[in-house]
Amino acid sequence: MNVLMFGATGMLGQGTLRECLLDPSVTRVLAVGRRATGQRHPKLREIVVPEVADLSAVAPELAGFDACFFCLGVSSARMTEARYTALTRDLTLSVARTLLPLNPGMTFVYVSGTGADSSEHGRVMWARVRGETENALLKMPFKAVYVFRPAVILPLHGITSSTRLYRVLYGVMRPLAPLMRRLAPSYVTTTDQFGRAMLKVARDGHPTPILESRDIVHV
């Protein structure tokens, strides 16, 4: 399987990239983003672009992939709806529209979040925008589209979030991790478990296009 990744420098992207590089069924990985991952591996190639929303200059290099793992995302904290929409819905759909004619047999896996609002009419801005993004992707004629809605993710293997607030929260949560996993096993997963779930769904499919945290844990 040839894998295309966006957001490989984020926490979930790091975890997913790690599992891709470890998995013998993955032949090659192309990571596209504004920053390099800093990793070196025979399977891995990277393209650094100034703006992910405009891939026209590198489009010929984005063909021939079986799966796209779109792990790119931003926090909505202190952000207007217009700005968050541009960085979430508009950017994601721009990438998907570029990839579709190049890879009609691709499985597109989008990382959203628990609480995303599929109705598109809820009060919570980020949830509404995420829901709009999910709905638009699910209408696109890829081979398949899957939406992952993780809840609590515990980073392993030295992986960290690029968002300071999240790093602080994960630092507080880490001692409580074993208790959290016992009390709420369907809502807590790890970065390596998450990455393996992404790969399995891309390879084998899933009965439902939207996977909530409990589905991700049990893939």
Q: Hey, which CATH number is domain 2-217, 3.30.420.40, 3.40.50.720, 3.30.365.10, 1.20.59.20? A: 3.40.50.720
What pLDDT, on a 0 to 100 scale, did the predictor assign at position 160?
67
What pLDDT, on a 0 to 100 scale, did the predictor assign at position 176?
60
Q: pLDDT of the chain along its 219 residues, tens only?
A: 999 999 999 999 999 999 999 999 999 999 999 999 999 999 999 999 999 999 999 999 999 999 999 999 888 988 999 999 999 999 999 999 999 999 999 999 999 999 999 999 999 999 999 999 999 999 999 999 999 999 988 888 777 666 665 555 656 666 666 666 666 667 788 899 999 999 999 999 999 999 999 999 999
Q: How far apart are CA 209 and CA 205, in angstroms?
A: 9
Q: How far apart are CA 65 and CA 61, in angstroms?
A: 10
Residue reference for tokens 């809605």? 149
What pLDDT, on a 0 to 100 scale, did the predictor assign at position 77?
86
Tell me the domain boundaries of the chain.
2-217
* pLDDT tens by residue, 51-86: 999 999 999 999 999 999 999 988 898 899 999 999
Query: Where are the alpha helices (H) located in 7-90, listed in sequence order?
Result: 11-22, 81-85
107-111 vs 144-149, strand pairing mode: parallel
Query: Where are the alpha helices (H) located in 56-107, listed in sequence order?
Result: 81-85, 91-102
